[in-house]
Amino acid sequence: MPYKSSSGEANSSFYATDGDGVGTSRSSSNHNHHDFPRLSRLLPKNRRRRLSAFAVVILVLLGSSYSVGYVVSENQHPLSLVDQAIARVSSGDPHSPTEILLQRAAIEAVLKATKDKWSNYFPPASAVAFDETLQGRYSGIGIWLRRNSLNQLEISSVQPNSPASLAGIKVSDQLLSVDGVNVSEATVADAIATLRGNASTQVVLGLRHNGVRITLNIMREAVLTGDVLASQIAAKTLYIQVSAISLHAAEDVATALAKYPHTHGVILDLRDNPGGVLNVAVTLASEFLSPGPIVSYDRKGGLPQELTSTNKDPETAPMVVLINGATASSAEIIAGALQDRNRAVIIGDQSYGKGTVQEVSQLSDGSQLEITVGQYHLPSGRAIDLVGITPDLKVNESHEIAQAVSILAGLVALDSGKPATNKK
């Protein structure tokens, strides 16, 4: 690989040092009989000529053999073009970023080239914050983030009773800055990391709320309320709000079902739920579904993947699911599976329409890569990407819970053969 000096000319010393065939041949072919004064004195002239020629041939052959051997060795363990470029920049520019930063920039450029807004790279520190988000147990302000269709960084979910919720932050608010630093161009991973911090520390957010730019000072909390809230909303009627499909969501829903009487029905509120872990969503849906399909996807280069319920004793109480325009991803899988299998009445507004599945893999330094590996298909075979879930009944959000209670009362009355009552 030729090296260009500051003047733009090829540096011949680099050729020889690098084992380049041309460079090595040049340095070898420059030898003549003056390079061997001792032999010149000891041998007759004609023998000196023959020996000098022989020596030149041997040296050329040896030089060429070294050169070819080096190239073969390089080809056995080749550096990628990206690694070659990073190595050259790191060694050539004294002011260049560190090799780690250059590698990160290269990875992010690769993801950007896919034009898939759902693919992400999480450096080690951001990966920790990402894992904490999925755990649903972390120190922060209680929001989830995503890139919207305009590539703006926006709030995708606000955890109930969290510092963010109490401060008035809403889904679809745009996050512009954190502690005075512009994050509008930051990756989701970096933005999540900036929001983390010790409990009882303050963070200053710049937001665009209802089209107006605002600044909020928010105190982080060490223990948030979790992503599942449950309450007895009416006689023997259970209301469960799931704000994200984090790792404990299905477990917390099962706990709520065991704790509260719900023979008159269950309201599952998935409004403003951005999704989360697919397997957890399948487990959560399985609480209400008998054995059968929940979701499938075709994995690139692999066999179709089908995730099913194996629950032989599912919950059978009447059920209503609430959705809205911010219900996305694996939350849509839950609503769609319950709808396709005629297990629940879906009410509210058209869901977000994020119907692709991402897989997270860990890299050698602890960083994580999240890439799209397939498109979801519901039990009926329909895909929801860029389409979403259409509710069975479109209801204004402010009336959804009251409407859900009324629907459940009607379903219970149908089961019992008695007129519907709506006691609260």
Place of tokens 């403003």: 272
Identity of the amino acid at 43: L
Give the per-residue pLDDT at 418: 57
**Domain limits, CATH 2.30.42.10, in the chain:** 138-219
Residue 69 backbone phi and psi in degrees, to 5:
-60, -40
Q: What is the CATH number of domain 228-416?
A: 3.90.226.10
List the end-to-end C-alpha distance of the chain, in Å, as a whole number: 79
Sorted by sequence, the CB contacts under 8 Å of residue 418 that are 6+ apart come out as none
Give the per-residue pLDDT at 139: 58
Give the distance between the most distant pair of CA atoms in the chain.
Answer: 126
Give the per-residue pLDDT at 78: 62
Q: Which residues pair with 361 in a beta bridge?
A: 369
Give the per-residue pLDDT at 90: 81
Which residues in the chain show pLDDT less than 70? 1-78, 133, 135-139, 223-225, 417-424
Which tokens belong to 222? 């060490």
Asked whether the beta carbons of 257 and 279 are under 8 A apart, the reply is no
Give the per-residue pLDDT at 19: 27
| Residue 337: C-alpha distances to residues 265, 306, 377 (Å) | 18, 13, 10
| Residue 145: C-alpha distances to residues 155, 230, 231, 298, 379 (Å) | 5, 24, 27, 27, 29
Concatenating the DSSP letter of every residue in 223-266 gives S---SEEEEEEETTEEEEEE--B-TTHHHHHHHHHHHS--TTEE
Give the per-residue pLDDT at 137: 54
Q: What confidence tens digit (pLDDT) does each residue in 167-202 have?
A: 999 999 999 999 999 999 888 888 888 888 888 899
SS3 (DSSP) at 270: coil
Give the per-residue pLDDT at 13: 27
Give the per-residue pLDDT at 353: 96
Sorted by sequence, the CB contacts under 8 Å of residue 111 that are 6+ apart come out as 119, 120, 121, 371
Q: Which residues pair with 208 in a beta bridge?
A: 174, 213
Closest CA to 249 of 371, 165, 137: 137
pTM: 0.73
Closest CA to 329 of 246, 214, 399: 246
| Whole-number Å distance between alpha carbons of 58 and 413 | 101
**Domain limits, CATH 3.90.226.10, in the chain:** 228-416
Q: What confidence tens digit (pLDDT) does each residue in 319-350 have?
A: 999 999 999 999 999 999 999 999 999 999 99
CATH 2.30.42.10: does it fit domain 138-219?
Answer: yes
